Amino acid sequence: MSQLNSEQEVAAVRAFNRFYTRKLGIIEPKLLHSPFTLQEARIIYEIVHRPACTASDLTRDLGLDPGFLSRTLQALQRRQIVTRKPSKDDGRVNELALTAKGRAAQAELERRSCEQVGSLLASLEGGQRTALVQAMTTIEQTLERPAEKPPAFLLRSHRPGDIGWVISSQAKAYAEEYGWDISYEALVAEICAQFIRNFDPSREHCWIAEAGGEPLGSIFLVKGSDDVAKLRLLLVEKKARGLGVGRALVEQCIRAAREKGYKEMTLWTQSILVAARGIYQAAGFRRVKEEPHHSFGVDLVGETWELDL
């Protein structure tokens, strides 16, 4: 490769970086006209999408200066966006978590980002969108080292003892991560009891994701009517997030609904459940309704999503 070509290639990459950051508004003082800088928004994103997150993790994985990260986290703590709590595995280590205010801020950042990218893609024709996404995938795969193969997991039908695990895991996860009170456990128990009492194997199903005999997640396909199926109680344990468990559960639920003859699938979720909403959107669901409500001891925005089968 000649020196001239090398210089041209470097210039081309730098030019693309300038173009892309301008196009997405990354160089603005505040990202997406929010109260947060790009660095703050990225830190918030990483905290909510990691099973457990420490300052050391962020320093290592994001390549941030420890001093800068410490100051940023202190600022986010003062704004009641981030909190620290001792790790269950090692009391000497503090794990980072989002407060209720922080989760609401993350949900709003996610909404604004999706709207901005959606608007950008809407201005392109179908073939252009496909080419754009393929080009981005090529860039990522070329520059990123191949990831280690994730641990294998399987999806199986429920068996005795699984429903109790679902109730316990749902209640524990939402209490620890979102501060929901025991009334949510009562709701999950009611849904599960009704599922068992009225179980129709020709039209309904429950799947448990597991690895090495240990349950990692669950999902329910429930009959709403002859034509409408309900997706209920999607859960992925913290330690299994990022492995594709949630996506696999949702895809299996959709596939089974089609095989059982349903014409439509619906689900009810909350705006703060960013990861789950991302899975639903990627699977083709569309949000058709949202409504503020006070449930499980907190203020929430409930969302109804639908998918034509």
Q: Which of 256, 281, 255 is nearest to 267 (CA)?
A: 281
Task: Check if the beta carbon of residue 80 is closer than 8 Å to that of residue 101.
Answer: yes
Tokens representing residue 96 in the block: 């980072």
> What pLDDT, on the 0 to 100 scale, is given for residue 121?
84
Specify the pLDDT at position 49.
79
Position 1 confidence tier, pLDDT thresholds 50, 70, 90: very low
Looking only at the bridges linking them, the beta strands covering 228-236 and 214-223 are: antiparallel
pLDDT band at 239 (very low <50, low <70, confident <90, very high): confident
Tokens standing for residue 222? 């429930």
Per-residue model confidence (pLDDT) at position 195: 96
> What pLDDT shows up at residue 26?
67
Q: What pLDDT score was predicted for residue 30?
A: 73
CA trace torsion 133, 138, 141, 144 (10° rounding): -100
Among 46-55, 227-236, 239-248, the minimum mean pLDDT is found in 46-55
Kindly indicate the confidence band of residue 151, based on its pLDDT and cuts at 50, 70 and 90: low
* Ramachandran angles phi, psi of 3, nearest 5°: -60, -35
pLDDT at 182: 95
Per-residue pLDDT for 85 more than 70? yes
Q: What is the per-residue pLDDT across 104-120, written as a single tens digit (0 to 9) for each? A: 888 888 888 888 888 88
According to the model, what pLDDT value does residue 64 have? 81
Residue 210 φ/ψ, nearest 5 degrees: -145, 160
- Please report the pLDDT score of residue 146 as a whole number: 62
**Per-residue confidence (pLDDT) for residue 206, from 0 to 100:** 96
**What pLDDT, on the 0 to 100 scale, is given for residue 3?**
54
Report percent pLDDT > 90 for the chain. 49
Q: Taking Cα atoms as reference points, which of 260, 302, 254, 262 lies closest to residue 280?
A: 254
CB 7 within 8 A of CB 14: no
- The three-class DSSP label of residue 309 is coil
pLDDT in the model for residue 94: 82
State how far Cα 32 lies from the chain centre.
20
Angle, helices 66-78/38-49, rounded to nearest 10 degrees: 80
Give the pLDDT confidence score for residue 225 in this predicted structure: 95
Domains of the chain: 3-143 (1.10.10.10), 154-308 (3.40.630.30)
Q: Is residue 4 pLDDT above 60, yes or no?
A: no
pLDDT digits 0-9 by tens, 263-294: 999 999 999 998 899 899 989 999 999 999 99
Condensed to tens digits (0 to 9), the pLDDT of residues 24-44 reads 766 666 777 788 888 888 899
pLDDT band, residue 148 (cuts 50/70/90): low
Q: Are strands 264-270 and 298-308 parallel, antiparallel or unpaired?
A: antiparallel
Three-state SS annotation for 133-153: HHHHHHHHHHHCCCCCCCCCC
Q: What is the mean pLDDT of the chain?
A: 87
Mean pLDDT within 213-228:
95
% of the chain with per-residue pLDDT over 70: 93
